[in-house]
Each structure stands twice: as structure tokens, then as C-alpha cells.
């Protein structure tokens, strides 16, 4: 455990992100980290001391990539701490001093300031110490998003949240109720949700909002029975709009539910193995095996869905050879989209409560995925990062070109609003091409969401209109 002495609480918060990225194990950190800065004649000087080792950095503020002084102050101080730790420890991080969750968004901001893709990507390397591999990843993603990205204050993704699942994965931090035969709120949840979706769509229609994509997520939407699923899907359907339903868990996918999704106009589904190693699936609490995944995938292929499959690099107990088996198995099926996540020890997950030792091969796995995807004809088209990810890495969505998911791109880039329905769902208004973002969350607890639906709905409709 370390002590940080910084000149104010705001920069302390920023610096802590860098410290956590370098030292995920709280028991293995320096004891004392100190930061001070001052400006003299347009030059900012930052002094960092780590257990008595002193480091000094200076930069002319005129040479900043951003004219905004506050951002310069945050960015430069984080960079100085990053460089000081990097020098002291003799190791680098793939994303350098970047700790935000949306690296592509930063590149877009630089491009909005007049930089070309190449210049924006170079700036990420020179100003944030982003590695050449990650800079190349960002460049490929910016190119893959060209023609698929939509921006505008009056554009929305309609997001519908199903807060149910059939068992709890060890890494899951979503607030989900487990649907056992005794669970009593599923039917009333669907009743209320259908009403919320109808009123939300009507509100957008009346206020000039345009729905760009519909996404049914969770939880696991296919944890609902076929009839409940059908009611939700029919309510959310919008003509000629990208429509995704996370089928997610193979153990919830049946021929009946696949037919319902196809009949209701769903064009994209997710069928997620996470790993094709059966011991791992038991260890992480997924209640299905690799054969279930292959069978669910085969059934799904009887319909003209664009299929996404999710994998996780760095699962507990896995080595690179296990991950490669999963990569080979999944790419062999040729799903249109493959999303490679890096394990994150999220607060609230069972994993965060255990003594689990971080998988030290996560970076090798992410790199192996990047190579395998390229060799198999997939391109990266969106990426994001989360707190407490192994190796300070990232999640990346790959696709066969032309099958990019507009919802994933626009959600990650935060360039259009979100009209969200369901317990815990968060609506967003985006103003001025992302300069200002407002959020409004529905109640998370299913019982409270049902009880307070009437009072809360109006507030959300005003927020969206």
C-alpha cells in the first residue's frame, strides 16, 4: 500500500489511475510517491519523488496538443509520473499514461482539432507514450469506423436492459437476478418494460429524435422464456434499423428463441463461449460446456443472423495454449464479429473477493488474438478499456469488413444519445458532438424499478425530449 502526496485532490485522483495501472497488486507498491508542479515563463515543471528517487520533467506549454490549460496540467503530470515509474521499474505499459476508457475518442478529438489520422495516432505515441502496437490498433479502428460512425444531438440508440441471468459468472459485476423457478418478477418486469419501451419510442418520435440502432442487452435477454422475449423484441423493433439481441449464454439458446428473434426482425445476436476449455467454464461458473456452445452456434447459423462471439483473455487458470485453442475454435466457425475481452477484476464480482492471482499471460493472449484475427481476415473496429483490467490492456471488437456494429461503435465513441429502458439502464444525451454529456439512470433494483415506474418514467421522458 502506498502513500501519495499530491498538490491537490483532483490531480491525486488522476495520478492514482497511473499508479494502479503499474501496480495492480496493492501489496507490491512503493511506499511513498510525491508530486509537485509549477509554471515559470510558460514552462511547466513537474517534480516526482518515489521512495526518495527524484525525477524532474519540463515542458513548454505552447507546444501542447491542447490549448486547454487544465487538460494540459492533468495530462502532463500523469505523463511525468508514468515516465518516472517506467524508468524506475524498467517496464512500460501498452497504453502508456492513457488511463481513460475510450482511446479512440481521444484520437477523434485530435482529428476534430484538424489533425489527420496519422498525426492523431502519432500524438498518442509521443504525448501519452502509447506503444506502437496500440497506436496501430487505433489507426486500424479509425479506418474501420469510417462510414459506420453517426454523430448528432438528435440521434439515439435504443437500449433495452434485461437484468436476468441463469447463473453468475465469477467475473460478472452486472446487477442481475438469477432466474430460478421461484423468481417472481420476470413477468411483471416484461409488462412494465414493454410499456417503458413504447413510451420512450413515442417520446423520441414526438421530439424529433431518430433511433439509429436497437440493442437488447443485459444480463442475458435469452434468459427470458420465448413468450417474454417475443413481447420485448416486438416492442423494441424499429423498421430498417440495426437490431441486436445478446443471446449470450449458450445454455439459454433454444430453437424456439432463435425463431422468435428472427421473426421479430433481430439481425444480430451474440453467442458467447468466453472459453472453449471445459475446466475453465466450470471454474468461472458458466453452467455450460464447449459442446453446448458449438450446438447453439450451429442452431443460430440456421438463421441469417450476423453473429458475434465473446472471448476473454486472462481467465483464471488458463495459459496461452488454452486461449489459442479457443481462438482457433472460434475463428474456425467464421462468426462475423469476434470480441476479445481482457479479464477485469471488477468491483462487485466474485473474482474481486478471491485470492485469485492475476494471469501473467494476458498480454500474450491479447497479442496472439490480434495476430490470429488478422490472419483470419478480421479487422479491429472498436476498442475500450475498463478499470482493473489485467496488464492495463483493452477489449477489442473484430469483424469481417462490412459487418461493423453501429451500436458498438457509437456507444463506445459516445457520439449519439442513448434512450435506455429497464432496471439499471442509463440514458444519455450528447450535446455538441460529445462536448457535453448528461446521464439519467433508471433504478437498478428490479422490485424498486417496478414499484416506482410511474413516478420515474416522466422524468426520463422529459430528459429525452
Angle, alpha carbons 392-394-397 (nearest 5°) = 175
Bridge partners of residue 35, in order along the sequence: 48
Query: In the 8-state DSSP scheme, what is residue 359?
Result: P
Smallest gap, in angstroms, from Cβ of residue 285 to ligand SF4? 8
| Identity of the residue, 104 or 220, whose beta carbon is nearer to ligand SF4 in the bound complex | 220
* Residue 57: cis peptide before it, omega within 30 degrees of 0: no
Where in 7-134 does DSSP place strands (E)? Answer: 32-40, 43-50, 53-60
d(CA 399, CA 386): 21
d(CA 59, CA 382): 32
Which of 177, 169, 153, 167 lies closest to 424, judged by CA? 177
| Identity of the residue, 75 or 249, whose beta carbon is nearer to ligand SF4 in the bound complex | 249
Smallest gap, in angstroms, from Cβ of residue 219 to ligand SF4? 5
Smallest gap, in angstroms, from Cβ of residue 40 to ligand SF4? 51
| Identity of the residue, 165 or 330, whose beta carbon is nearer to ligand SF4 in the bound complex | 165
Smallest gap, in angstroms, from Cβ of residue 312 to ligand SF4? 10
* Residue 442: cis peptide before it, omega within 30 degrees of 0: no
Q: How far is CA 185 from the centre of its chain?
A: 28
Question: Cβ(98)–Cβ(66) under 8 Å?
Answer: no
Q: Are strands 426-431 and 436-441 parallel, antiparallel or unpaired?
A: antiparallel
| Identity of the residue, 145 or 176, whose beta carbon is nearer to ligand SF4 in the bound complex | 176
Smallest gap, in angstroms, from Cβ of residue 176 to ligand SF4? 5
Phi, psi of 28 (to 5 degrees): -135, 65
Q: Report residue 256 as a C-alpha cell.
A: 424456439
Question: Cβ(449)–Cβ(187) under 8 Å?
Answer: no
| Identity of the residue, 57 or 294, whose beta carbon is nearer to ligand SF4 in the bound complex | 294
| Identity of the residue, 172 or 241, whose beta carbon is nearer to ligand SF4 in the bound complex | 172
How deeply is 23 buried, as exposed, middle or buried, from its count of CB atoms within 10 A (0-12, 13-18, 19+)?
middle
| Identity of the residue, 169 or 399, whose beta carbon is nearer to ligand SF4 in the bound complex | 169
Residue that is written with C-alpha cell 424456439 in the block: 256
| Identity of the residue, 84 or 258, whose beta carbon is nearer to ligand SF4 in the bound complex | 258
| Identity of the residue, 349 or 396, whose beta carbon is nearer to ligand SF4 in the bound complex | 349
Smallest gap, in angstroms, from Cβ of residue 286 to ligand SF4? 7
Residue that is written with C-alpha cell 423468481 in the block: 183
Smallest gap, in angstroms, from Cβ of residue 168 to ligand SF4? 5
Cα-based distances in Å from 21 to 32, 265, 291, 314: 16, 43, 37, 16
| Identity of the residue, 78 or 288, whose beta carbon is nearer to ligand SF4 in the bound complex | 288
Smallest gap, in angstroms, from Cβ of residue 74 to ligand SF4? 33
Phi, psi of 339 (to 5 degrees): -110, 125
The separation between the first and the last C-alpha atoms of the chain, rounded to the nearest angstrom, is 48
Smallest gap, in angstroms, from Cβ of residue 247 to ligand SF4? 10
Enclosing H/E stretch for 385:
none
Smallest gap, in angstroms, from Cβ of residue 362 to ligand SF4? 18
| Identity of the residue, 249 or 388, whose beta carbon is nearer to ligand SF4 in the bound complex | 249
Q: Report residue 126 as a C-alpha cell.
A: 509521443
Question: Cβ(252)–Cβ(226) under 8 Å?
Answer: no
Q: Which residues bind ligand SF4 (CB under 6 A)?
A: 165, 168-169, 172, 174, 176, 218-220, 248-249
DSSP letters, 431-455, are EGGGTEEEEEEPPSSHHHHHHTHHH
Smallest gap, in angstroms, from Cβ of residue 384 to ligand SF4? 16
Amino acid at each position: 500500500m502506498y502513500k501519495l502526496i499530491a498538490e491537490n485532490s483532483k490531480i491525486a485522483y488522476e495520478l492514482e489511475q497511473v499508479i494502479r495501472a503499474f501496480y495492480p497488486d496493492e501489496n507490491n507498491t512503493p511506499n511513498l510517491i510525491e508530486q509537485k508542479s509549477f509554471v515559470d515563463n510558460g514552462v511547466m515543471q513537474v517534480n516526482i519523488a518515489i521512495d526518495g528517487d527524484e525525477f524532474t520533467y519540463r515542458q513548454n506549454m505552447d507546444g501542447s496538443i491542447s490549448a486547454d490549460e487544465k487538460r494540459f496540467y492533468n495530462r502532463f503530470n500523469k505523463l511525468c509520473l508514468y515516465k518516472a515509474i517506467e524508468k524506475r521499474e524498467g517496464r512500460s505499459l501498452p497504453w502508456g499514461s492513457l488511463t481513460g476508457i475510450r482511446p479512440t475518442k481521444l484520437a477523434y478529438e485530435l482529428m476534430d482539432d484538424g489533425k489527420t489520422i496519422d498525426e492523431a495516432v502519432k500524438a498518442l505515441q509521443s504525448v501519452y507514450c502509447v506503444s506502437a502496437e496500440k497506436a496501430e490498433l487505433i489507426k486500424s479502428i479509425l479506418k474501420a469506423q469510417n462510414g459506420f460512425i453517426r454523430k448528432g444531438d438528435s440521434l439515439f440508440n435504443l437500449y433495452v436492459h434485461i437484468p436476468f441471468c441463469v447463473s453468475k459468472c465469477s467475473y460478472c459485476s452486472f446487477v442481475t437476478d438469477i432466474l430460478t423457478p421461484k423468481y417472481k418478477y420476470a413477468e411483471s418486469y416484461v409488462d412494465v418494460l414493454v410499456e417503458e419501451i413504447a413510451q420512450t419510442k413515442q417520446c423520441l418520435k414526438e421530439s424529433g429524435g431518430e433511433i439509429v440502432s436497437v440493442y437488447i442487452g443485459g444480463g442475458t435477454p435469452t434468459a427470458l422464456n420465448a413468450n417474454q422475449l417475443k413481447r420485448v423484441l416486438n416492442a423494441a423493433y424499429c423498421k430498417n434499423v440495426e437490431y441486436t439481441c445478446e443471446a449470450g449464454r449458450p445454455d439459454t439458446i433454444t430453437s424456439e428463441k432463435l425463431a422468435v428473434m428472427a421473426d421479430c426482425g433481430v439481425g444480430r445476436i451474440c453467442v458467447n463461449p468466453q472459453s472453449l476449455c471445459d475446466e475453465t467454464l466450470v471454474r468461472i461458473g458458466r453452467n455450460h460446456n464447449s459442446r453446448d456452445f458449438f450446438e447453439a452456434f450451429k442452431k443460430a447459423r440456421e438463421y441469417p443472423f450476423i453473429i458475434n462471439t465473446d472471448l476473454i483473455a486472462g481467465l483464471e487458470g488458463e495459459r496461452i495454449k488454452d486461449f489459442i485453442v479457443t481462438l482457433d475454435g472460434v475463428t474456425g466457425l467464421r462468426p462475423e464479429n469476434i470480441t476479445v475481452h481482457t479479464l477485469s477484476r471488477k468491483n462487485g464480482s466474485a473474482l474481486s473477493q478471491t485470492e485469485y492471482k492475476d494471469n501473467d499471460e494476458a498480454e500474450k493472449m491479447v497479442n496472439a488474438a490480434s495476430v490470429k484475427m488478422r490472419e483470419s481476415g478480421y479487422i479491429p473496429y472498436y476498442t475500450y478499456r475498463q478499470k482493473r483490467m489485467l496488464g492495463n490492456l483493452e477489449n477489442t471488437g473484430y469483424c469481417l469488413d462490412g459487418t461493423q456494429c453501429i451500436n458498438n461503435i457509437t456507444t463506445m465513441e459516445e457520439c449519439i444519445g442513448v434512450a435506455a429502458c429497464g432496471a439499471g439502464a442509463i440514458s444519455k444525451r450528447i450535446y455538441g458532438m460529445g462536448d457535453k454529456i448528461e446521464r439519467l439512470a433508471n433504478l437498478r433494483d428490479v422490485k424498486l424499478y417496478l414499484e416506482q415506474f410511474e413516478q420515474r418514467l416522466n422524468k426520463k421522458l422529459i430528459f429525452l425530449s
